[in-house]
Structure formats: C-alpha cells, structure tokens
Structure 1
C-alpha cells in the first residue's frame, strides 16, 4: 500500500477478518489467545451467517455415524470431494456442535432433552440440528457475538473495510483496513502473529443471490493478490429454492421444508423431480437446482408446495420463511411458493 497510514495496531495473537459464525467461533476457540476481530457491521449480523436457516449437519441422532455422514457427503459431491477433508469434517462435526452448545446455542430439543434433528437433501437420515425450525444462523450468530463480547481476550472492531493484506518477505503479517468514509476515512495497518480470513463467499457477484450484497468475494480477491492459491472457485452452490418474488437478495425457502415433505411442482401440476432422481426433492442440491432451471428455461413456472406436508404448522415450525412469504403476499399455508 502506498497510501498514508494513519495508525498501526499490533497484537501478538490472531487477527480475524469477518465476524460471522466462522470468525467468531474461531476467536472463541483460540481463547485465551488474544484476537482482534474486524467487521464491517455489527458482529454477529455481518455476512451470510445470520441469514442461514436450516441448521448444521452432524451425526448426533440415534443410529447415525460419522461414516454415514461422510458417505452421503461424497455422494452429494459426485465423488469430487477431498475424501480426507470430508472424513475430518464428518468426524469432528458432533464435537463442534457440543462446542456451540457450550457457548449457549439454543438448539431445538426433543422431549427427552436430546438434540432434535431434521432431514435435508442428500442426507440418508435426519442429522440437521436447528433452532426454531429455520432460525439457526441468526440464533447461533447472536450467541457467539454475545460470548465474544464477554471475553476479555477478544477485541471486536466494527466499521472497518479491509483493503489489502500486508506482506513482509512474502509472508502475510497483517491487514490494511479503512475506517470511516470521505474526508473522515482513515487507513489503519493491523499487524498480528496470525491472520485468518473468515470473509464468506461471492454470491452477490451473480444476478440474483440469497446472500447479503456485501458477499462479493473480496476476501478471496485479497488472498489471491497476496499469492494464495485459490482451490476450486468454480464450485459455487446454487440453492434450489430461492423465493421468486423479484427481489435481490432473494428470500430463501429452507431445504428443511422439503425435508418435511414439501414437493416441487411445475405450473402443469407435475412433480418433476420424481422422474429425475430416486430421492426426488431430497436429491443433491445441484441436481434439484438444475432441474428447476430446466423447467424455467423451458417456459414453465416452478412452485414449492408445502400445503399438505406442513399446512397450518408452517408459522410455528418455519417462522422465518413464513414471514418472508407473507411480506411478499404469499400465504404458504394455503398457497404454493414460487421458486
């Protein structure tokens, strides 16, 4: 950077860019190591984390195993996954759920106190832990933000926009970030022993996204300019059931609806997924998304029909999606949801 640096902030711990679930969880797990967490907006509200609905996959249900979870993941990834990473994630997922429980995440429970689990696409059995049906992201984000605020070793700084990674002899040593706008803008160099990018995805680069509009891949860009090798950037997942109400970002209809039995119909009343995959609406997301795309590009309209499977329970079981539908003039109890 050739711009004038207004201030230098140093820590002998970690510097984390991003205050969604990934960034906040990392800071809490690193404790008591000191961490500085940089966020553009209020920690816990920035990025896509708070927008996530369905929940987190982990083999915590009765009869489930990490091996089954890993197998389902490899099938969903069409064999293109890194098997070692899949095994690691599947093995560690239950322990990470316990971490979240320890931090206070209010997961839904069964009558006996065990974690309630739902089923989503490509999973052979229910293993999605959730909060208030479809409010996992917001609840977990708020919980982690509260714990991070309480931790003496974590410094949360909001209102900062990262510009570039700082390099010394080819090694990342910090982040250049701006605070303020216009004549009040200040360029600050944050230096740290370790720099962690928890900056989310790039969904907002597309014409319509279910991500916040700030999800533009800026963290990936900074890493690439610093010399990092970016692996598999072409694998962008398109959620099959964004609600088609002409908005960008588009509201999301969580996959958990299909896990509860909701079906996809075209405007001829055909349940087209049944002829495409044995798991029908619970086929892997890429297969469902492509099938919907083919229907729409052929001139058909596509709807998610929750009336029989969920019906009057919709407001109680899926309050986030219900509110999004009602704000668009759609009552999912009695009408189909356009996707």
Structure 2
C-alpha cells in the first residue's frame, strides 16, 4: 500500500479520537484510523452517561471532591479541576451535534434529566436512556463523515509508531512521525505519516478473561507508546465493573451502575438477602471497587458463580422506562427484570492507568499526543468515578487539538520514512501458538492479578508473562504479521506492565487490593514505569 501523508493522524475512532478530529479539521487534513468498524470501540458500549455539574445546588467543588474520594487521593487535583470545569461546555457541544439527551421533567425546570451513580453526592449524569455512548458515537461519526478534511479509514490495525529510527536519515530525537498499520482485509502494511499523531486507542480490558470491553481493547496504544519510549503510569489500577451479566452464551453485557442508583439491590442467590450493607454504609451506592470486592468475597466464600441484582420491587413501568435496552436484551434470554433478579459477576471494565500526559494531552515524545482511556492524565487516580470517562475523552480530545493548532509551526515535516520490510519473514503455519498464548494471558491475569491480589500470585504472573514475552518476540520476528499477532504482542506488554506496577505498590489503595499490604500508606504516590 502506498504512503499516506496527512497533517495529523488519529489512531482510534471513539469519543476522544473523533472529538480531536472535529476540533482540528477546519484548518488541518486529518486521518482517523479505526482497527475495525468505526463504532467498534468502547464509546458505543457506554450505557451510563456523562457527569457534569448541571443541577441547582451542585458545585464544581463537590464533583471534584467526589472524584478525589473515589480516586483514593491519588488524583492530580489540577487535572480534576481542569476536566470538571470544562464538563458543562462539553455537554453543550454534544447537544449541538444532535445528541438527544433525555429531557428534564423536574419542578425546577431542568433542561436534561439527571441520574445519580455510585460515588456521586448529586444527580449529575446526563444520559440518553441507558445507551448514552451509542448516541454520542453516532453524532460524532455523522459530523466527522460530513467534514471534507476528515478521512475515516476502517480495518487498520496500528502496529508501531514511526520515530526517527525509521527515517531514511536516522534520528534519535524520539519525535513521532506517524504509524505503520496493517490493512486487515488485504494483509498489507501501510505507512501513515504526519506532523502530529494522537493516540485515542482506548484501554486494555481484554487482557483479562472476563471483561466488558470490546474485543479490540488490547492495550495497543499503551504498548506502542511504551515501545517508542513513553513512560506509563498506574497500570495496577484496573476497574472491575461489579455487575456484568453472568451468561455463558452472551459475553461482555454490562448492567449499568444506574440500576443501583435507581434502587437496584444486590442479593445472595442462596437466601435472597442483601449483603452490601454489611460491607459499606453506602450499600449498593458505594464506589465500584468496594462493590466489586464485596461481590468477589461473597462468591468465593459461598462457592457461587454469581450474585443477584434485583430491581423487580420497583413498578414495572419505571423499570422499562429507565432501562429499555437492558430490559429488551434480557427478555431475549428469558429474564424479565420487572419480575426476577439478574445474575451478575464482576468483570474487567476500565484501565485507570496508561500513557503519561499533561493537560495539553502531550506525551513524553515530541509530536505524540494521547487522550481518553489510553492515558494516565491524573483524573482518575486509584479508581475512576462513574461517568467521568466519556468526559475525559471530550476534554482531552479538544485540549490535544488546541495545543497542536496553537503550536503548528513548531512541528517539522516528517521527512522520508522507510517502507515496512517483511522480506525476511514467512507466513505462519502455526496460528495455534497465537490463540493458545492469547488464552493463557487472559487466564493467568484473571486468576493471579484480579480483584484481590497477593505477592506470590503476582510473582507467578510475572514469571508467566516473561516467558510469553520471549515466545511472542521470537514468533513476531519470524512470521508475517496478522491482526491477532499484533494484539497478542500488545497484550503481553500490557500484562507485564500491570504486574510490574502491582508488585511495586506495597499498600492497598483504590482498585489495587493486596492481602500482603492491606493498609493504605499515608502518602499517595503514582507508580511510574520508565522504558
């Protein structure tokens, strides 16, 4: 495939990537690379909504405080203030793009209906029924597709960032000049070059056996940035959503937090009794890490496969009106949530750590920016507060675009880059190796690096990851590249980063809970890994 030259390359087609594209495209030629279809990322799966201070009586200070409390004090306060103070404008821009947020119906004449989720002290979540992410994704895609300066390219799996090491005239300046990407249908590798590159590749949920993340969430951006020389931070903080549907046929179906916000109760299937009040005074409205650990504890204590989430005590009309998507989906599986409980189990949901960025979305490498779940911006700390994630995508997607535009004259032309060389590799006759290692990573991460950890289990995981890294590197060096191989190579890197970060933290804070260090240390310090 020929060279593709643009002003800015954006890797990822979700909320962060498309927001950045729309903010750049009035004056710059932008290409957006999607690994699969445009809507296959995490954005379209987000059910809950977007948090912003919109209710009378609510304040920025209150939202900031809730975020800091959920984050175990590890958040960067400047980042938290920056994101939360920009939230109302972000909502306005989405509404202007045509996102049909549920209208308000309260006596105070609220413009939009606001719901409340765990960890929030006010109702501040704007939403589109229980399928907010899908509505946001559709609006952003429509606007991007209509813009003459935005080129949307699907089925392109990014392999590695292009730096001065790949230039015809070698340079060690670390500047990112683009990306090599595999066109999945043809198996050909294309070179995309630009003055600036933005990573908006999402998280690494698929490194775990049970996950609510889409299949493509294999930590690609984190692994690529690490290989290129970026620092990575706080990878030990993996948020497990407490309530994924337990069903052996249906994978990754999430039961939104808002169901607990509207009165849903967690109960034991053995005696139909609630158990959350034993663990926390906030009961079902405790932050996600507390709820996930409580469910994990009960499942292990009683040898269960799942617990129940029950909202059937509410009027049937109320349930169907608030949760139409979930109601319809579960009805196809023979569960009527207006009459019976839902079997749920925790599942890996969100990567709170990632590539280190500043308030302009800049990484450690010149010419490389990042936004959204791929990053560690300082917003989430040791645990993300519900509905702050889409918000981060909009605020940092725009911040990165603004910084690029303001400093455009400082970005040099990428120059001449060497073509992808596959003259010394051959087609693999052993794809089973890739499939087996993919399954092995996800299994040992679930068993050894899950919701509750021990040093011994983490050491076992690191040993496994190190062996797999050698196997994968050897395989990668000898065989022609495939989409599965790209993802496996990235998953091994991300698994190793998670385990190394977890071993380095000698305390329990937020989402990192270890039986060997159950106390929280007085000082909150980021875990930073340097390549």
1:287 to 2:281 alignment: no
Match of 1:158 in 2: 154
1:77 to 2:79 alignment: no
Distance 1:67 1:30 in 2: 31
Match of 1:171 in 2: 175
State the secondary structure of the residue aligned to 1:298: helix
Match of 2:61 in 1: 67
1:145 to 2:141 alignment: yes
TM-score, scaled to structure 1: 0.93
Distance 2:17 2:145 in 1: 13
Match of 2:262 among 239, 260, 268: 260
Match of 1:136 in 2: 132
Match of 1:38 among 12, 29, 33: 33
Distance 1:150 1:316, change over 3 A: same
Is the Cα–Cα contact under 8 Å of residues 47 and 200 in structure 1 kept in the other structure? yes
Distance 2:161 2:332 in 1: 41
Encode CA deviations 1:96-155: one digit per residue, 9 max, x unaligned: 111211211111111446021100000001101100x20101111011000001111211
* Deviation for aligned residue 1:160: 1.0
State the secondary structure of the residue aligned to 1:177: strand
Distance 1:78 1:113 in 2: 32
1:99 to 2:93 alignment: yes
State the secondary structure of the residue aligned to 1:241: strand
TM-score, scaled to structure 2: 0.60
Match of 1:3 in 2: none
Distance 1:270 1:78 in 2: 30
Is the Cα–Cα contact under 8 Å of residues 314 and 338 in structure 2 kept in the other structure? no
1:120 to 2:124 alignment: no
* Deviation for aligned residue 1:247: 4.4
User: Please, which runs of 5 or more residues in structure 1 have no aligned partner?
Assistant: 1-5
Q: Which has the larger radius of gyration?
A: 2
Encode CA deviations 1:227-271: one digit per residue, 9 max, x unaligned: 111111111111011011124633110001111111111122221
Distance 1:248 1:232 in 2: 31
Match of 1:52 in 2: 46
Encode CA deviations 1:155-185: one digit per residue, 9 max, x unaligned: 111121111100013111101011144xx32
State the secondary structure of the residue aligned to 1:125: coil
What number of residue pairs does the alignment pair up? 329
State the secondary structure of the residue aligned to 2:163: strand
State the secondary structure of the residue aligned to 1:201: coil
- TM alignment of 1:242-261, pairs within 5 A: 242-247=244-249, 249-261=251-263
Distance 1:11 1:93, change over 3 A: same
Distance 1:246 1:115, change over 3 A: same
Worse overlay, 248-257 or 304-313: 304-313
Encode CA deviations 1:308-330: one digit per residue, 9 max, x unaligned: 23533323321221123223221
Match of 1:110 among 104, 108, 112: 104
Match of 2:343 in 1: 338
Distance 1:244 1:161, change over 3 A: same
1:11 to 2:16 alignment: no
